[in-house]
Amino acid sequence: MKRLDGKLCLVTGAGRGIGEAIARAFAAEGADVIVTDKDGASAQAVADDIGRQWLRLDVGEEADWQACADAFPAVDTVVNNAGVTGFEEGMSPHDPEHVSLEDWHAVHRVNLDGTFLGCRYAIRAMREKGTGSIINISSRSGMVGIPGAAAYASSKAAIRNHSKTVALYCAEQGLNIRCNSIHPAAVLTPMWEPMLGDGPDREERMAEFVADTPMRRFGEPEEVAALAVLLASDEAAYMTGAELTIDGGLLAGSAVAPSRD
Ligand code: NAD
């Protein structure tokens, strides 16, 4: 018996990075996975490789979620993973003084609207059975301020709070639908490429990015996927409204140098 046998699990943004790792880990644990992404070709490639189904789904488009509900009216797990930093199309300023309203909205459209629509779809698609697991991928940036990524941090903080609202709403409704958030930091995926580049200073830049991380390394997408497997499984039956950090110790506190006294 595998940990996710018999469960139908939908993962957004699963064409690469953390979402892909989650889709692969779910399949390895016996789940029937729906691999979704805005980029249909990447979703199809992952789905073909693991022998599962796929769907083109832009999480910010309500019509795409409606098509998803028509195709998959019932589901056991939804992972709202798709997310953008806003730096994908080039490094426009994202600090609170210079970020444009257009960029601010574009990031919130995917990260926050996408998660809201994904949670709404999930509750409706789980209501009849009365049980399920919603997993929202927030970020360490949802717990602390990020001066250079204002929209990203704001959207991720809102995901953290909305997860708790969803958890409480479902409990209030007498539904056994759990909702939890995962808060990764510095996980080496294609999301980092615009910041790392492929120049000769790549290793140096990587070391700089994790210099403040107590474990002094990037996390692996598979390490985040392992948490998602736990939350999707019945092992986490008593967990709802929880936030799980996976950040090499970054949020545990500052590593203060020993006193000289
Ligand atoms: P990634 O950029 O490598 O992959 C993101 C995937 O989401 C891509 O396949 C992309 O096509 C898809 N996507 C983008 N916009 C979409 C949309 N509108 N609808 C559907 N799919 C869309 O990113 P990643 O590093 O794998 O990040 C996955 C999640 O984890 C994101 O929510 C991100 O904010 C979060 N996260 C990542 C890190 C990290 O260090 N990598 C840290 C904290 C949180």
Question: Which residues, at least 6 apart from 43, have a Cβ–Cβ distance to it below 8 Å?
Answer: 14, 15, 35, 36, 37, 54, 55, 56, 57
Predicted pLDDT at 254: 66
Predicted pLDDT at 256: 54
Q: Whose CA is nearest to atom 7 of ligand 1?
A: 13
| Distance (Å) from CA 209 to ligand 1 centroid | 18
Amino acid at 176: N
Q: Is 169 a catalytic residue?
A: no
Output the CA torsion sign for 196, 57, 75, 114: positive
Predicted pLDDT at 179: 99
Predicted pLDDT at 248: 97
- Report the candidate in 69, 9, 19 with the shortest Cα–Cα distance to residue 39: 19
CA distances from 235 to 118, 160, 228, 242, 251 (A): 23, 22, 12, 14, 25
- The pTM of this model reads 0.97
Instruction: Check pLDDT > 80 for residue 4.
Output: yes
Predicted pLDDT at 93: 83
Is ligand 1 within 6 A of the CB of residue 110? yes
Question: Which atom of ligand 1 sits closest to the CA of residue 64?
Answer: 19
| Distance (Å) from CA 234 to ligand 1 centroid | 26
Q: At what angle do helices 150-172 and 101-108 cross, to 10 degrees?
A: 40
The residue whose CB lies within 8 Å of the most ligand 1 atoms, and thus the one to mutate among 146, 156, 191, is: 191
Span 158-169, average pLDDT: 99
pLDDT tens string 210-229: 999 999 999 999 999 999 99
| Domains along the sequence of the chain with CATH | 8-191+221-246 (3.40.50.720)
Is ligand 1 within 6 A of the CB of residue 194? no
Residue from 121, 152, 169, 238 carrying the catalytic annotation:
152
Is ligand 1 within 6 A of the CB of residue 39? yes
Is ligand 1 within 6 A of the CB of residue 18? yes
Give me the residue label for tokens 């729906």.
Answer: 34
pLDDT tens string 11-56: 999 999 999 999 999 999 999 999 999 999 999 999 999 999 999 9
Is ligand 1 within 6 A of the CB of residue 186? yes
